[in-house]
Structure 1
């Protein structure tokens, strides 16, 4: 028998919570006022959180709270205190992103259930296994997973898996996006994403010339359609996904109500009849009507290429209503032949031939020249709409008043939609109090006696039918009368107020029992504080002795750049495991040649690796590792959790944890050390002050990126292959990336370079180059062991110049020389070789 999946709903407000519960959600995820990835949602204060847990638990629904952002050192104690509070109010799980916070949570509140957020970018079997070993009870998979991959992970690990099945889609692997952060200071890793992916871009070549006509293709080249898997429910269940997650904590409660009601019905029908499952036409229409950017099944069925994207519109499309047929001069109205019903109060939008969109709320309309409140599909209606509208322009219904009202009733009415059937037993006898017992669907019972005793009836004694009628009046409770058993002895009667009061008190008792049912006992404050003091004390231990010889590392993807890095003073080169198609795919012999060149010059070569490695790609990478096992590599740069797990069990080479592991606090450093990491690259979202703090108590050497175009996005979607290469559902890419150097140009004229790696994933780089050449002494004095030039998308000339400047800056520091003039000259020269200029990133502005 197919396992019944959990339907998991979003809630950004109290109304959305009620909408989710009343429309059939099994669980709801929501955020507190702090530490969650939807900073702009209304969210819940602590009192509301406790109330939400009670409300949901009475109705048999679980509550998960999102604590899914990166946590700074000074926030750790407060965040752990919040998790302690969540556990003690009975929250069913906390959803975490930060590896360090998760480590401390398992130490200080091991009783708390924790889920690994999709922000942790878990996308392969080994990553799931590592999260299981690290104490996570559920893993929320990356949205880029295919159903076959998920099924294989389920078979291999037996893990509790959660996946997004409907709603907005991030174009970048979650947890790996720095675009909003680096461009505008609003970090997705801190819950403040400004969604730059929903803005206009043009695909251009290295000279800024358009490679595709924006009028033909569209301008929203990073804006995905919404996921809609309604037609795939049986396949999702067969893959073994435990929890079906709906995206939408920023959405209105009407959206939550409509989408949850629809998926509740779909899941229940699929469980009842898997083979005969289908989506009804009205269900498809309502899902589209409530909100859509057009739909796709995401990556579940494979890479859909351009069919994933909404190139021409980044926001709600609504449902197509028809086309403008002409202008009625007599009534001064536009005539539209309806393809969908229309009523007063609906919102419509015309996609005009010139000038974009124009929309109105329908306050009046004519049918056959007469005012009407409603018109069926197939009707020719007249509407007064401003703007330059022409015959043939398309019209969309963006707001359906009736659908919204139907949704609104479910969370505004005092009568509850979701009802729990109860078994009632009532016994009444003359001269004895009435006894009432109720039993719910989980076997919980509550019972009580009336204050007054039964009297002998003069006219109308109590009957089963009368009690059935009275006890069934449960409209404003979450309960419904199921079975009724009665034991009426003699012609007994009690006042109605006594029966109603008894029913009320028994149901109130049952509500409290349901609220506490299966709730783990809380952790006493003094016990939590003792554990907390111990764990935080461990983090404050003295750092390892600082290295006396700071090193310069360079990350490159071609052999000539490696030669330049070595020749101009690099101590460490990252090379060989990641390549870009514009530079040619690296072969093992090039890695061997690079290693030989480095050895001759006394430079360490560390194998770099892709931050994303799905299972099949991970197997290919382990084959590469097998091939170079006997070579004297100086380490492996690791950017994803799965490879980290695999290397711990597989390789004896030193492991360097890359910045893509999101090292944001001391606890994460300790966690990585436990996993065998010997040096960690700090998050580029940290400030200089935070770096100094971490370096003061680090359990391992630290590395900081100081120069280069930071990768802002890593996406399974490739705009080059999709727009130029014809990649779409069922169609392969023609491979234009081999011969083209491309970028995305924004509205301000900035060009963000992009590369396509050996696995056809896109890497989008910042238009401005990071450059902190003047801050080399500050970083080295703080105790940073390795400074890194990030040059994977640059040529050997760039590598030679940047490495030369940083090599000299490090030498000056080692000899105790401070030369601000040389630093300034270097900065000006480095700014000159960056087309869009340079930036200090977050070193002096941060993301908190």
Structure 2
């Protein structure tokens, strides 16, 4: 007799979906997309699940794009995985930052730990981490972060061939483009539906890094886009975007068959996440054609969550024109009244809604600046303390903050409704495996059936042929599911009985406990040995190979070259060049036209192309006899990433400009002849499809000057100062020639440590 228990307590619907591609099911069966919520800690994750989220995403303290917030401990993440796997939920681990060679060892240790905890997928940005997981941790599915800046089906399908199972698309894609990408893509797609927006295209923003060395690609963005900037004609928050809200677009997204709908907000707490999940769960579960009936209710639920003014983001051309909220940076929420007067110990206000003790309020001044926020601990109506106010009354709120006169009061948080789940009762499971148990006279044989964890254990015990009361399948399943108490979770359990056997309960328990101890030892040893088998990228002294370096210079249209350099120009620039640069951004609607332009360039004699986005590799693989160079917007920050791009066909690769000297030198140790370093020029530090309300020179409050340049497809932000780095001996140089370039220069981050 053979009994297989799939995924302990796994609902049949979840099992069914695990056997078939989600993209196929969504398109054929028109299933409801996955609702994916952010989680910065265990409490928030459980609140999201209770409110109806199908999955959550979150990270630990290192190597994720929200390092400046509270993150999971190893213990809490293990408990989250245990809860999710026994309740038909999913958890995606964020490992979505760039890493350097000196950190690869720590990343490998981290992945060894995660290979036991088995998140349902790992979200990544770094090409080196992609290579590391694909080659050494195949048990971990890989999702491409939005930081990879994939914005068309060519990019999606290229990553599908590299081991990616889902792509989280660039936020700056329209609904029309999204429908086409979904139709032409071979793997799952995930899109953001709610939360804060970045002004820049994802993964290529250097604004925070330029302003102080705090890299957004390392989870440390200081959000300079939220600051005020100045021009001769006025000032404003020229890069501060409204928040994304797509409640009214849910019917269209469901119809498209998008696999996963994602809520932004890992910096947020449980009250915010609960409200947002509640609102979108309501919209997703409403039958087709009836969404308009519940839209108002969903908006009222969403009003409980703090945020900026709502917008459709970049989903329509109209929304792109108004996504920048240049006259206000304030984070809003639910408007609850206006300030009447201010006193030393608080302020009086006229309420428009009820206010409760424990509410978190923000008072926004008329200037639109970020106002003070606080939690209400004491308030009075007509000098009488109350725990709940009425609406349309005068209310005095005690606080010690500087409250702006005539400010508007917004509720940005409510008293936290803690999860009903007892966290202490969730087991801390460190290893998830597939297990086969075979009972035979004298004991049992246990076999781990995961392809990457081949292992067998034989145990002796008092197992006899049964004269009466034979052990049942259910007895065995019940006992061995208790392996969770010993830190071992079962993805599935197969029990094989070759006959009728009698086993005393204490014998069966002893066999299970012995098995748990041996499994934990063998699994830990396996992970340790596997870790030792992964090659290290060690530092070696730099040596001059004697090869002749090449200086490559990019010229914008209309600029004349000085001669004696390798000239790079845009693909559509009619001026002669040795190398053609493919566009950073190519909407799905222009892919075919771009293919034709590449064909025409080759027919005209071009043999070298510079790829600035992943889709370029997919387009260029159709052509033979050409050379490919990697551009600055492909973040190569470590030797594994460099190796990955060479395998994709790149002959020369520009190293990521945020690297410090140590980071450059480590890669040059292995790849000097193929590496290129940006040594001079004004590097674009922000690129967007949004309509920026200014053009030309602007400055910040400290006097730093920037230039806003608009083209047909994108708006670009350049710093006044240019990068100026002393060339490394024998290494190829890359320069950017920019009209009106500055005479001053900066080493930027070269002599510091990359943060």
- TM-score, structure 1 normalization: 0.69
Tell me if the contact between 2:272 and 2:304 (Cα under 8 Å) persists in the aligned partners: no
Q: What CA distance in whole angstroms lies between the structure 2 residues aligned with 1:510 and 1:137?
A: 31
Tell me if the contact between 1:23 and 1:410 (Cα under 8 Å) persists in the aligned partners: no
What is the alpha-carbon root mean square deviation over aligned residues?
A: 3.7
- Aligned equivalent of 1:737: none
| 1:26-67 CA-partner distances (Å, limit 9, x unpaired) | 112111222111112222233332222112222222121111
Matched, 1:758 2:731: no
Tell me if the contact between 1:57 and 1:514 (Cα under 8 Å) persists in the aligned partners: no
Return closer, same or farther for 1:562/1:35 CA change in 2, 3 Å cut-off.
same
- Aligned equivalent of 1:536: 535
Return closer, same or farther for 1:266/1:702 CA change in 2, 3 Å cut-off.
same
- Aligned equivalent of 1:249: 266
Tell me the SS of whatever aligns to 1:659.
coil
- Of the three residues 679, 696, 699, the one matched with 1:745 is 699
Matched, 1:2 2:13: no
- Aligned equivalent of 1:841: 748
Report 1:515-594 matches (<5 A). Answer: 515-517=489-491, 536=535, 546=545, 548-559=547-558, 561-563=559-561, 565-566=562-563, 569=564, 571-577=565-571, 591=574, 594=575
Return closer, same or farther for 1:532/1:642 CA change in 2, 3 Å cut-off.
farther
- Aligned equivalent of 2:63: 35
Report 1:795-814 matches (<5 A). Answer: 795=740
- Aligned equivalent of 2:739: 794
Q: What CA distance in whole angstroms lies between the structure 1 residues aligned with 2:366 and 2:78?
A: 52
Cα deviation for residue 672 of structure 1 reads 1.1
Matched, 1:404 2:415: yes
- Aligned equivalent of 1:428: none
Q: What CA distance in whole angstroms lies between the structure 2 residues aligned with 1:363 and 1:534?
A: 57
Return closer, same or farther for 1:9/1:746 CA change in 2, 3 Å cut-off.
same
Q: What CA distance in whole angstroms lies between the structure 2 residues aligned with 1:750 and 1:634?
A: 40
Report 1:42-121 matches (<5 A). Answer: 42-121=70-149
| 1:524-557 CA-partner distances (Å, limit 9, x unpaired) | 5676677666663799999999563222111111
Return closer, same or farther for 1:237/1:354 CA change in 2, 3 Å cut-off.
closer
Q: What CA distance in whole angstroms lies between the structure 1 residues aligned with 2:175 and 2:189?
A: 12
Return closer, same or farther for 1:354/1:789 CA change in 2, 3 Å cut-off.
closer
Q: What CA distance in whole angstroms lies between the structure 1 residues aligned with 2:215 and 2:346?
A: 47
- Aligned equivalent of 1:377: 391
Matched, 1:711 2:709: no
Question: Could you list the runs of 5+ residues in structure 1 that have no partner in the other structure?
Answer: 417-501, 578-587, 596-603, 725-740, 799-832
Tell me if the contact between 2:37 and 2:264 (Cα under 8 Å) persists in the aligned partners: yes
Report 1:315-714 matches (<5 A). Answer: 315-323=330-338, 337-352=350-365, 357=371, 373-379=387-393, 393=406, 395-399=408-412, 403-405=414-416, 407-408=417-418, 410=420, 509=482, 515-517=489-491, 536=535, 546=545, 548-559=547-558, 561-563=559-561, 565-566=562-563, 569=564, 571-577=565-571, 591=574, 594-595=575-576, 605-650=578-623, 652-698=625-671, 701-714=674-687
Q: What CA distance in whole angstroms lies between the structure 2 residues aligned with 1:661 and 1:519?
A: 44
Q: What CA distance in whole angstroms lies between the structure 1 residues aligned with 2:209 and 2:404?
A: 40
| 1:313-357 CA-partner distances (Å, limit 9, x unpaired) | 334212223446x6799xx99875543223445454554558965
| 1:655-708 CA-partner distances (Å, limit 9, x unpaired) | 111121101111112211121111101110122232222122128611110011
Q: What CA distance in whole angstroms lies between the structure 1 residues aligned with 2:268 and 2:530?
A: 39
- Aligned equivalent of 1:465: none
Return closer, same or farther for 1:277/1:507 CA change in 2, 3 Å cut-off.
farther
- TM-score, structure 2 normalization: 0.77
Tell me if the contact between 1:90 and 1:519 (Cα under 8 Å) persists in the aligned partners: no
Matched, 1:180 2:208: yes
Higher mean displacement: 657-666 or 525-534: 525-534
- Of the three residues 247, 260, 263, the one matched with 1:230 is 247
Tell me the SS of whatever aligns to 1:88.
helix
Structure number with higher helix proportion: 1
Q: What CA distance in whole angstroms lies between the structure 1 residues aligned with 2:739 and 2:529?
A: 51
Return closer, same or farther for 1:37/1:365 CA change in 2, 3 Å cut-off.
closer
Q: What CA distance in whole angstroms lies between the structure 2 residues aligned with 1:653 and 1:173?
A: 29
- Aligned equivalent of 1:451: none
Q: What CA distance in whole angstroms lies between the structure 1 residues aligned with 2:346 and 2:44?
A: 38
Question: Could you list the runs of 5+ residues in structure 2 that have no partner in the other structure?
Answer: 1-28, 427-474, 495-518
Return closer, same or farther for 1:506/1:692 CA change in 2, 3 Å cut-off.
closer
Q: What CA distance in whole angstroms lies between the structure 1 residues aligned with 2:363 and 2:650?
A: 57
Higher mean displacement: 6-15 or 541-550: 541-550
- Of the three residues 288, 291, 294, the one matched with 2:309 is 294
For the pair shown, which has the larger CA radius of gyration, 1 or 2? 1
Tell me the SS of whatever aligns to 1:51.
helix
Matched, 1:16 2:36: no
Q: What CA distance in whole angstroms lies between the structure 1 residues aligned with 2:331 and 2:182?
A: 35
Aligned residues: 648
